[in-house]
């Protein structure tokens, strides 16, 4: 890391290939659900997900971290599959709160 760049997978797809089962299948299903919610959703490897947004009334167990981030917990593929619609709703509710990258050039 002498040049300041992190070594390892550069894309989510590359990262997923490094996972072992059952984690790989869980991550693949999460990707499928999240990316299917909206064509505006992209993916990249980064820390801290689900910033701000919906805090109450979610059927999902959310662990809140300061300042305003949450971790979603599920018990496995069966749980995620059976609650897919509510998870899609949770992701959809968060879209307005996720900062969008700049579009086009300046000027």
String of DSSP letters for the chain: -TTSPPPS-SSHHHHHHT--TTHHHHHHHHHHHHHHH-TT------S--SBSS--SS-SS-EEEETTTEEEE---SHHHHHHTHHHHHHHHHHHGGGSPPPP-S---
User: For the segment 27-47, what is each residue's pLDDT rounded down to a tens digit?
Assistant: 899 999 999 999 988 888 765
The percentage of the chain sitting over the pLDDT mark of 70, rounded to a whole number, equals 67
Q: What is the pTM of this model?
A: 0.68
């Amino acid at each position: 890391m002498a040049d300041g760049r992190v070594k390892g997978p550069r894309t989510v797809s590359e990262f997923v290939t490094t996972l072992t089962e059952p984690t790989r299948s869980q991550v693949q299903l999460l990707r499928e659900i999240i990316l299917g919610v909206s064509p505006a959703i992209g993916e990249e490897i980064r820390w801290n997900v689900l910033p701000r947004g919906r805090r109450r009334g979610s059927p999902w167990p959310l662990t809140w971290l300061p300042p305003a981030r949450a971790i979603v917990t599920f018990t496995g593929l069966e749980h995620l599959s059976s609650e897919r619609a509510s998870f899609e709703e949770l992701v959809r509710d968060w879209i307005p709160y996720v900062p969008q990258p700049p579009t086009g050039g300046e000027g």
